[in-house]
Structure 1
Amino acid sequence: MVIVATLFWHTNILASDLDTCFKPKGDKVEQIAACENSLSPLNKNHSDYLDLKLQLLILYTSQGSYSLANQTDMAISSLNLTNYSLDKQFKYLRHRGILKYRQGLYPQALLIFEQAYQLAKTDKQTLLEAKALSDIGTANMAMANHKEAISAFHQSLLLKQQLASQRSIAITLNNLGSVYLKMEDWPQAERYYSQALTIYINEGNKASEAHSLENIAVVQMKQGKYKQASQGFKQSLNFFIEIKQEVAQLRLHINLAELNLLQQQLVEAEEHLDLAQKIESKLGNNALTLPLQLNLGKLFIQQGLYQQAESILKNGLALSLENKDSRITTRFYQALIDNAVKFLRWEQAFIFETKLKKHQLKGFQLKFDESLANTRVQFEYERQQQAIELLDKKVR
């Protein structure tokens, strides 16, 4: 009886771990522990082994635990994946690509997403094709291959419009808006963001509606439509205050401050930046720390505070260089130049101008290297496809 009771207790614990491991929107730390507990007694041939490994790959990647994610990836790649269903093969390739993408290995990610797309096409899995094309678009967008990104997103959209949910269609519309935003094609960006917004309103998806309003407001701000942008930002901010989402509040206070600075509304800009600093000090350094410092520096410039502006902009510049964030690094250099010019510090302006030129040349070289790497990846992909086709002919 004791043995039976112990076995029953152990089975319940395993079942509980499995439930926790695959729980949607669960606590990531608890999920990882549960997955690892469930996996520990299993060998590679167990029916649950691949599912648990895939879940760990997803969880490690989402947590930024890339070393563990890479180890898990290696363990999965050692399996004979042709023994598993196409859906599982596709899921592995997709999340392997996402892992590479998160590590900034965009050409490698693109190759894997292309492989996932070919796999989905082979079995005429339309929804999987649409997902893979969306991933291909995202990788190309990261490498500033805007034409290729738009092409992939458009193909994905056409497939999704046949079978996918409205929410999935809205995601691709948002992606298209983001590409056009990066290209500074404001009317097209606003068009696609607005189409996504319509879907979210019809679906009653309030959070996504607020994000879309914010996206549209960013585009309107870029076009000088300040009144409309202000309304969109404030409407979005009110929603995120209501649901107590502080990261979104921080981002919107920074956006509103930037909008105020463009209109030289210094009192309002300072109010938003004060609120942003309070949230940021609570959250700690994050992806919005740099935009916050940049706008604080710009506020000090407009307030005539040369030393304070230079100090905070130099700190932000150092952090952006450390983070290898090229786009905002350029904006910090430009703000430092503007600060020096305003106060007739011509020597300082020349120094920052020279550094900006070197930074831009380095960026052009990096872009060339990435383009070359992408070409090599595409060549390797085509070579692999040819090898597969020859092998297929031999088998026949």
Structure 2
Amino acid sequence: MDVTDLRIALFSGNYNYVRDGANQALNRLVEYLLRQGAAVRIYSPTVEDPAFPANGDVVHIPALPVPGRAEYRAPMMIPPAAKRDIRAFAPNIFHIASPEILGHRAVTMARKMDVPVVASVHTRFETYFRYYNLAFLEPLVEAGLRRLYRRCDAIFAPSDSMAQLLRDQRMNYDVGIWTRGIDREIFHPGRRDLEWRRGLGIGDDMPVIGFIGRLVMEKGLDVFSDTIDRLARRGVAHKVLVIGEGPARAWFEKRLPQAVFVGHQTGADLGRAVASMDMLFNPSVTETFGNVTLEAMACALPVVAAIATGSQSLVTDGVTGRLVRPGACDQFADALAFYCRDPDARRRAGEAGEEVSRRYGWDAVNQELVDHYLRIIRQHREGGRQPRRSPVP
């Protein structure tokens, strides 16, 4: 069996209607699979005006707006028409990309069809609730995730640190790695554009601290803004550049009135914006990999990040940037002040980060997942599926 024999049913709560790192990784995977001769069918909610064109054929799954976050949809079931489509497609593996009700229903259907099923983990979903005064729900959410992932033949994390966390949480016996790649034609130091910065009112010698991502509270916007307040009180010269859109933009703009907000950027424009920063500040603890961290490293920027899944696998403290205890605003400010005041230190850390980024290519990391697909199908046919219960008490 090889890649041309693969027939993959992919289930996602957001394949392309709102742009984020997870669904862009899924679209790159599908593009690679189709290019290699595999058959793929995607089952996801759709909208009339998606954030970007979808790779592959997407079958619409009905969904309801998420309360308080209406830009996202919550699929509640697999309707009969979609079930008929799945059976007609006759997949030989199911891939679950989001842990909501659609994922649970897809696992149940895979079991009824006697088809192996895997899941990819894209975010620290259980941590989101602490940002909306619902932290008491975190143990219940983690238990729900464990129930879903233990029913899968294998699960995949985008980083070694996230994989270890999933093992510690007893999510599954078989925890593999499906990491992320970088498009080096978009992200590289040559994209730096001082003229573009000047157009934003930023001087050539002014250290620029960047934020990249969706403007939502779970990205650590409170920690970011509190840290910037400390820098200002210390009299550290700097400018904040924010790339991204989201429901918390108005709040973030009010907290950082001196910052420059350039909105959502894509392609070469995104590469230019990232390379035109002087450092990235990523205080989030919800990422499982940290695409923006890798993008900044590819542009030769030092990264100041929280000690969290994803960042720990990319950033080497004191070499390519600094890793700081989550929420420790004074220590974050220390690290940022160091890079603001020392251009040589910025250069050394940036060069080291760029060298690390060269290890990540999309085709190579997607082929690793293909190899796992083939292994899991073979094991399933041979009756070698791992037990569903965790060995850790």
Class of the TM-score when normalised by the shorter of the 2 chains:
under 0.3
Is the strand fraction higher in 1 or 2?
2
RCO (CA 8 Å, sep 6+): is it higher in 1 or 2? 2
Q: Compute the TM-score of the two structures, normalised by the length of structure 2.
A: 0.27
Which protein has the larger Cα radius of gyration, Structure 1 or Structure 2?
A: 1
Is the helix fraction higher in 1 or 2?
1
